[in-house]
Amino acid sequence: MFRDVTFGQYYPVDSFVHRMDARAKLILAVLYLVGIFFINSFVGFAWLTIFLLTAIFVSKVPLKSVIKSIKGILVLLIFTAILNVFFTQEGNLLLSWWIFKIYDEGLKFAAKMMLRLTYLVMGTSLLTLTTTAVDLTHAIESLLKPLSYIKFPVHELALIMSLTLSFIPSLIEETDRIIRAQKARGADFDTGGIGQRVKAFVPILIPLLVSSFRRAEELAFAMNSRCYEGSTKRTQFRVQKFSWRDVVGVLFQLVFFVAIFVVFAMQDSWAHVSWLYF
């Protein structure tokens, strides 16, 4: 049930994207998320699709693994689409029944929101698939290092985020193991109404919480036994350095952003080109 969830998991392979500096990938990922919200046409989403598919191809990560990351937000996608379809009352009326009215602009806006959320999750999933939790921790700590001069706990924050990412695959595996164990005892999670399915998940949440607290306690004991102190100045086994790969990655994304922002900034001048903003 949860075995196909890939968010937070690392896909080990030797590729151009994997060899990039984690700090550069993190910055590019943030810029990617910002750029998504400037896209307001299906043509822009077509450019985004080309950009994302190219990044996936260069990273050598199976497209199937990236698409699986959408599985965790299917309910959110459906809920968002329903809200936008029935509450956006602009454009031409297509269907009217009782208190429900569907307009063509509502359908377009719902489709754009679904695409925006889908590409947002796929982009962040590609970041975690090509970057280990340790490298992400060092990247976050390095980028937030200026905040340490105002006594901000940069290292502790980076450590918390790293542990959170590293625990996601473990929790998914543990949840799947508990579900299979409960099914072997006769539990039914696939039939009945919504209320019955919610009640069926109660026997899963309790052992999952117990297991999570036990893992956290074991990790705390392990860190204490190794005399871990986050406040002291720590060194890194792998020193992060920017290389020509990071420059190529930045240039590649700049081409994408130039196209997006040019279209966004000149939308008034190109308003007569109807296909551009379909």
pLDDT string in tens for the chain (278-residue length)? 455 555 567 888 888 888 888 888 888 888 888 888 878 777 778 888 888 888 889 889 888 888 888 877 788 888 888 888 877 777 777 777 777 778 778 888 888 888 888 998 888 888 888 888 778 888 888 888 888 788 787 877 877 877 777 777 778 778 888 888 887 877 777 676 666 777 777 778 888 888 888 888 888 888 888 877 765 666 666 667 778 888 888 888 777 777 776 666 555 554 444 444 45
- Cα separation of 267 and 260, whole Å? 11
The burial of 128, by beta-carbon neighbours within 10 Å (0-12 exposed, 13-18 middle, 19 or more buried), is given as buried
What was the pLDDT predicted at 233?
A: 66
Question: Which of 8, 9, 129 is closest to 58 using CA atoms?
Answer: 129
What was the pLDDT predicted at 275?
A: 45
What was the pLDDT predicted at 231?
A: 58
What was the pLDDT predicted at 248?
A: 83
Cβ(74)–Cβ(89) under 8 Å?
Answer: no
What was the pLDDT predicted at 206?
A: 83
pTM of the predicted model over 0.85: no
Annotate 237-273 with b (16+ C-beta within 10 A) or e (fewer).
Answer: eeeeeeeeebeebeeebeebeeebeebeeeeeeeeee
Max Cα–Cα distance, the chain, nearest Å = 68
Tokens encoding 274: 């109807």
Cβ(7)–Cβ(50) under 8 Å?
Answer: no
Location of structure tokens 């910002």:
34
User: Given CA atoms 2, 30, 85, 67 in this order, what sign does their dihedral have?
Assistant: negative
What was the pLDDT predicted at 234?
A: 65
